[in-house]
Amino acid sequence: MSAPLSAYVARYDGEEFRCGLYPSDDGLEVRLYSPTPRFGFDEIGDGTYVQPVDADECDVIYYSLALAQWRGLDCAICAERDDTVQVEYLGGLAPKAAEYGFDRIERGVYRRWVPAIEIRARRMHSTFIKSPD
């Protein structure tokens, strides 16, 4: 099984869930997602269950970003399939991105698929949106 990719995560009632963040009239709504049926969660699609809660009800909310190095370049991991990984170049230099064969997705965003075996120093970086009290 591969490591999780980048996602928002909320700790609610002692458990961590992938989540989505949505502004509401009352502040910030957090939609907790589960791949299995759970009490208080409604099915929204095949194998996806959701429970909306106020951000204040969550112990912690953070964004977890999958990072790695490919051929010495700092990259974010965007996707995985079979034996390949889609990486996004984080160096910000268009000539270097072109030199390494990255495709320009939009201004300042360069991605390409690489063999998973070439990925080094894989790690997760978390940025807290709501820190533990």
What is the per-residue pLDDT for 62?
Answer: 97
Query: Residue 96: inside a domain, yes or no?
Result: yes
Provide mean pLDDT across the span 113-125.
Answer: 97
Sign of the torsion formed by the C-alpha atoms of 121, 123, 127 and 131: negative
Tell me: do 19 and 58 sit in the same domain: yes
Note the pTM of the prediction, 2 decimals: 0.79
Counting the structural domains of the chain, the total is 2
- How many Å apart are CA 122 and CA 5, to the nearest integer? 11
Could you list the residue range(s) of the whole structural domain that residue 80 is in? 66-123
Tell me: do 56 and 73 sit in the same domain: no
What is the per-residue pLDDT for 52?
Answer: 97
Tell me: do 37 and 57 sit in the same domain: yes
pLDDT in tens, 32-53: 999 999 999 999 988 899 999 9
pLDDT exceeds cutoff 50 at 16:
yes
